Amino acid sequence: MKFSIYSDPPGIELEDEIEWDEDSDIARCIEAHFGDELYEALRGAHNPVLQRGRGFFWNTDEIESELYSYAKAYLDRHYGGKFFVKVVDDDGTVVSDEELDLWGKVIAYRRDYEQSHVDVGAAIIVMLENFLRGGVWQFGLRRKDGTILTDPSQWPELSSSADRVIWQDRSGPLEPMIWFGLQDEPPIECWTLDRSTAQSQRSLYYPSPYATEARPVERWHNFWFCSFWTLDWNGLFGDQGNPYITWMFAECGMDEPVDEFHAVRSSCPIELDEQDTSEELFRKIEDLFVKTQRGLR
């Protein structure tokens, strides 16, 4: 059995053999033939998804939808016209000859199997690189309502309580926090260092995907000093990214943005030390705020 694809106006032609008149067989042949066009649509620098910076990927469905929607629109725009598919049996009988949504078919096919994890994973790495290159370290005092005072001139006077320094206004105690992120965007928990977030909690981690025993580690420590990958991909995916992690690294061998991550870590306003306890980390944060506030006087 053979099928052929042709366009009106003429310009695109494809002919191949298939075992059965199945949509998946035709889509697989289309994907193989138009691989370069698909690659350009999905991974070209013009793709707006790849122009964004993002540091957390809990909603991969949204990224997938935007990535493929743009790719289809790009292909429709650059390879316009109508497409038709004709299927001919071995004896020459025309089984079907009908209009075909060429790009919609091949993109739907990619989304239905593991290739979507590869496409979205590659986009995620680019988005993370943009985040690491475009982000800045920021710090401020956070009120209970979530308001963050980043201007030191607005900070209340500090006081001491037991062995801690405290900032307090009419709303109550304020929590010193530092975070890395894009300017004018709210802090992302895994990129934030302070006493109150889940980053200071101890959780069980496997030192590698092949380890059989887990060990308790503070989340901030595993995020900044991951024992297997350079970055804590489980944390970046909100602990829900295993299919993507498998395809991105174990199957496809994609490169992590190692240099960019190390540059961010080394530029932190406090020294991030792998040997520090959580309490030592918090002391460094408080010292930074005390020195900043006293420097205004």
Helix/strand/coil for 54: coil
The full set of domain ranges for the chain reads 2-117, 135-294
Q: Is 291 exposed, middle or buried (0-12, 13-18, 19+ CB in 10 A)?
A: exposed
- C-beta separation of 95 from 21 below 8 A: yes
Please write the tens of the pLDDT for every residue from 216-231: 788 899 899 988 889 9
Query: Sign of the C-alpha dihedral, residues 117, 119, 123, 125?
Result: positive
The mean pLDDT of the chain is: 89
What local confidence, expressed as pLDDT, does residue 119 receive?
A: 96
pLDDT score, position 29:
85
Indicate the length of the chain as a whole number. Answer: 297
Residue 17 has pLDDT above 80, yes or no: no
**Greatest alpha-carbon span in the chain:** 92
Lookup result for tokens 């793709």? 47
Which residues lie closer than 8 Å to 65 by C-beta, 6 or more apart? Answer: none
The backbone torsions φ and ψ at residue 244, rounded to the nearest 5 degrees and listed phi first, read -70, -45
Q: Is this model's pTM higher than 0.85 or not?
A: yes
Q: Is pLDDT at 297 greater than 70 in this prediction?
A: no
Q: With CA atoms as reference, report the closest residue to 272 among 290, 260, 259, 285.
A: 285
pLDDT at residue 19 is higher than 70: no
Rounded Cα–Cα distance for residues 297 and 282 (Å): 24
Tell me how far apart the alpha carbons of residues 217 and 227 are, in angstroms, rounded to a whole number.
11
Q: Is the pLDDT of residue 258 over 90?
A: yes
